[in-house]
Structure 1
Amino acid sequence: MKLTFAELSSTGPVRHHNEDCVGFWQPESEDERLVHGSIAAIADGVGGLSSGEIASRMAIDIALNTFKTAPRGSKPNQILDDIFKEANLDIYNFGVESELRRMGTTLTACILRNKEAYIGHVGDCRVYLVRNGQIKKLTSDHTYVEMQRKLGLISQEDAMSSELRSVLTRSLGQNPIVQVDFAKSALQNRDCLILCSDGLHTLFMEHELADVVTRMTPADACTYFINTAENRGAEDNISIQVVRVEEVRKTAFYQGLSSLYAASKAESPTPVSGIDVEVGQVLDDRFEIIETIHRSGMSTVFKAIDRKTGETVAVKVPLMNLEADPAFYSRFEREEEIGKVLDHRGILKIIPVEQKSRPYIVMEYVKGQTLDRLMQTVGILPIADTLKIASRLCDALQYMHEHGVIHRDMKPSNIMLCEDGTLRIMDFGIAKTEAMRRITFGGFSPTMGTPDYMSPEQIKGKRGDQRTDIYSLGAILYEMLTGQVPFQGPNVYAVMNARLVGDPPAPRSLNPEISPQVEEIVLHAMERDPFKRYHSAADMKAELDGPQSVEITGRHQRLRRAAPWKRKFRQIRMILITALLPVIAFLLLWLVLSRQGR
């Protein structure tokens, strides 16, 4: 492609530091540009003072250098994946080592190769495509307000004026692993790409952006946008990049040229047989593994292409060393069988596969983030949002319970908030149906649930029923409202003991903005006695949808604080020592007398 490019970045009239950073690079040789392409990248640092400025500069430097040094013929998405992984880990490590623990940045990078734009994106910078005067947004903002809007929690008008509009739900440097959005768009002659920071796109209507880049050269457009944003009183740093596609070469030409490079020849995915599955392999000549989504100590979830349907799916594969474990295999098999009988918009869909060469589960692929990741980023959620999210979860739970399924491991990491505005309950690995055999408790293990959200009856080894899931949902609601789990302790046994013998702190003692009615809902769901909880998820949903009509029964006044685990342990230790002292004294006396007798 032949491109015309321009970029500008300004501190703006209010800020004292420019934490934005922009960068562009392309090979000097036209032949190299045809094969390797060009890259434009923009980053908006977060963290305050100079740390955001450092993070954004690191991200751009890594993006450009990684692209420059990538082997010729490397796939654009692989280069983008390398860029984001390296930038995220370097910024995270730098923040930890330099004690700038809130150091972070957004990053949006666009590789232009052949006649396509490949985009990697984390944060709230944006990429727009302008074609024939029409504009299309190619990225999705990773902000709390955007999540609210997609879930239907607030309107577009409210989102634009919300105080939470600058709260990010995803950025580089906050965690060792980051989730990246990838997108691709075909390009035509005279198309324009706009990359801009939130300091700019919040000050312009989309039709303004399209009109300016259509009428002006990229350089003039950048100057106009910066000057106009400053005149409109921009409160943030302002950055803009404009790329105009002057000419797209014919497909046959650039494909022929790229084939001169041996490294550019696509390698055929390798089949899987008797080994742990990896990216680039194919399961049963059907599922082409293209990306790792999540890896745990028991299994790996991959993004894959279903060659039979052409759809993108998620494939969960147990680690090879666990496939021969009968207990693990039974759990894995149960998860798939239970998932097959459930068909609800709030439950992750399992895709049936008739013949398999090894254990694995194929699921629908959904974009989004888990509730626990959202809470790690945002902290306490707005009360109205928590009630609506919990209400939707009640919908899914009610359907599940009506079909005889108890989840038994409801927790924030098993709840996906999807980009299309829906949510999904996931992971039925320890779920049970009415026909299941009883499982007894012989010490804590992952097959029993997660201590922070387990019900008291689960801790006692009982099978539980729908009220078990209601308790866990109450614990999730508690955490969304207060920013902390209901029970805390030095270890899992202390947490479980506290749940058995006591109640959590009253939610309003941790967050006074919670109304007495909402507190009543939480404590009703978290009653230690299952018979005192909501009898169904539908009953709980009714009160979540109409909290103003909830009757206050004084549950918060009847809460009993759990005795600290350490204190009880000391008491038990003292009792044992007191009981053993006479025995020890007798043995010592006997030894002394025996020696004297000799």
Structure 2
Amino acid sequence: MRTPTSNAEQQPGDILWDDIFHINPCGFAVPKNPLPELSTHESRGFSLDPIYEYKGFAIKCDVPYREFDMAKLAGDCGVKVHGYVLRTYKDYPELQLCRVGLVMEIGRPLADYIKTISDIEPEKLRVKNEMISVVERLHTERRMVHGDIKPANFLICQDSKIRLCDFKSGRPEDEPVELWGPLVDDLGGTAFTDRYQNKHREQYVPPTRNDDWYALAISVWELYTGKTPFESISDTEELRDHRRTGQTVDLTEVKDSETREWIRKILREGDALA
């Protein structure tokens, strides 16, 4: 369990952790009553940080404090945050209520949706343009970098617009570079998905716009092919070695020539052998 660090006053839209969860005999936090899972984050074969549906909202718990700030900074480029999950800790009575999770709008994961439009070229074009637009707005209007662009981190929201989620690897563009290393250590590492990264991406190097664009290009490749990049490579270290040589996805699988050349241009700017 991470050490709670701040107080919060309950506001409309907030939910109390104790109303939903309890600690089971094994010491794990679990729902008091069964809740539908909207999605899970996969890590080395284990499901971590489930996102639950509760009273019409998506509930994500055990959120690092950094993600609260970045989700707020993202504004309308991110899925709407309606409130926070607040928890009391008997070992930290001076803190009273602490923010430990997000209460968000429920959206449809783009990673699931693109599997349903494999033969609908106009819809793929529309989705591609919306993906590009929201990343551009994040960079230019919000002046921030996402840091972990991939189809799983795009959501189709209730107004049918595509927005981003999962901002724990994000950073403001004007944040001093020297703060990134201590921040990574404080958070116990940052999350980015190797399959979508360029050869230069490293944990202790702050993400940039170019990193987002490269990952977006790989995501658009996935949109147009319906395939997971480097799906034949399951070992994490092998995957990292593979991308560090500049190897990338097979662009011949993208049949739309304009999209294929758009992807190629961005991948080459990231020093890929495209």
Q: What is the TM-score when the length of structure 1 is the normalising length?
A: 0.34
Map 1:1-400 onto structure 2 (within 5 A). Answer: 271=19, 275=23, 276-280=29-33, 291-296=36-41, 297-305=47-55, 312-318=56-62, 332-344=64-76, 346-353=77-84, 356-357=87-88, 358-368=98-108, 370-375=109-114, 377-378=115-116, 380=118, 382-400=120-138
> When the two structures are aligned, how many residues end up with a matched partner?
231
SS of the aligned residue for 2:194 comes to coil
Higher relative contact order (CA 8 A, sep 6+): 2
Q: Give, in angstroms, the shift of residue 355 of structure 1.
A: 6.0
Whole-angstrom CA distance in 2 between matches of 1:464 and 1:496: 17
Change in 2 beyond 3 A, CA 1:479/1:272? closer
Whole-angstrom CA distance in 1 between matches of 2:164 and 2:65: 18
Whole-angstrom CA distance in 2 between matches of 1:460 and 1:314: 28
Tell me the residue number matched to 1:493. 237
**1:280-302: CA deviation from partner (whole Å, max 9, x where unpaired):** 4xxxxxxxx96443345432322
Amino acid across the alignment from 2:79: L
Q: Give, in angstroms, the shift of residue 387 of structure 1.
A: 2.8
SS of the aligned residue for 1:439 comes to helix
Preserved CA contact (<8 Å) 1:342 1:349: no
SS of the aligned residue for 2:196 comes to coil
SS of the aligned residue for 1:438 comes to helix
Map 1:450-461 onto structure 2 (within 5 A). Answer: 450-459=193-202, 461=204
Q: Give, in angstroms, the shift of residue 460 of structure 1.
A: 7.2
Change in 2 beyond 3 A, CA 1:483/1:463? same
Tell me the residue number matched to 1:520. 261
Change in 2 beyond 3 A, CA 1:490/1:335? closer
Preserved CA contact (<8 Å) 2:85 2:103: no
**1:68-95: CA deviation from partner (whole Å, max 9, x where unpaired):** xxxxxxxxxxxxxxxxxxxxxxxxxxxx
Map 1:530-549 onto structure 2 (within 5 A). Answer: none
Q: Give, in angstroms, the shift of residue 458 of structure 1.
A: 1.5
Preserved CA contact (<8 Å) 1:458 1:464: yes
SS of the aligned residue for 2:195 comes to coil
Tell me the C-alpha RMSD between the 2 structures: 3.4
Change in 2 beyond 3 A, CA 1:367/1:484? closer
Amino acid across the alignment from 1:371: L
Percent identity of equivalent pairs? 16
Tell me the residue number matched to 1:468. 211
Change in 2 beyond 3 A, CA 1:384/1:492? farther
Q: Give, in angstroms, the shift of residue 463 of structure 1.
A: 1.3
Amino acid across the alignment from 1:400: L
Preserved CA contact (<8 Å) 2:67 2:167: yes
SS of the aligned residue for 2:206 comes to coil
Tell me the residue number matched to 1:413. 152
Preserved CA contact (<8 Å) 2:61 2:101: yes
Return 5+ residue gaps in structure 1 as ranges: 1-269, 281-288, 306-311, 319-328, 531-558, 562-598
**1:114-148: CA deviation from partner (whole Å, max 9, x where unpaired):** xxxxxxxxxxxxxxxxxxxxxxxxxxxxxxxxxxx
SS of the aligned residue for 2:50 comes to strand
Q: Give, in angstroms, the shift of residue 496 of structure 1.
A: 2.2
Q: What is the TM-score when the length of structure 2 is the normalising length?
A: 0.69
Whole-angstrom CA distance in 1 between matches of 2:100 and 2:235: 33
Preserved CA contact (<8 Å) 1:456 1:499: yes
Amino acid across the alignment from 2:128: A
Asked if 1:480 is matched to 2:218, the reply is: no
Tell me the residue number matched to 1:163. none
Asked if 1:430 is matched to 2:154, the reply is: no
Amino acid across the alignment from 1:424: R
Preserved CA contact (<8 Å) 2:105 2:157: no
Amino acid across the alignment from 1:449: F
Return 5+ residue gaps in structure 2 as ranges: 1-17, 24-28, 42-46, 89-97
Q: Give, in angstroms, the shift of residue 428 of structure 1.
A: 0.8
Whole-angstrom CA distance in 2 between matches of 1:428 and 1:397: 13
Whole-angstrom CA distance in 2 between matches of 1:450 and 1:333: 20
**1:269-319: CA deviation from partner (whole Å, max 9, x where unpaired):** x84676224154xxxxxxxx96443345432322223xxxxxx3222112x
SS of the aligned residue for 1:408 comes to coil
Q: Give, in angstroms, the shift of residue 473 of structure 1.
A: 0.5
Whole-angstrom CA distance in 1 between matches of 2:75 and 2:105: 15
Preserved CA contact (<8 Å) 2:57 2:103: yes
Preserved CA contact (<8 Å) 1:348 1:425: yes
Change in 2 beyond 3 A, CA 1:497/1:383? farther
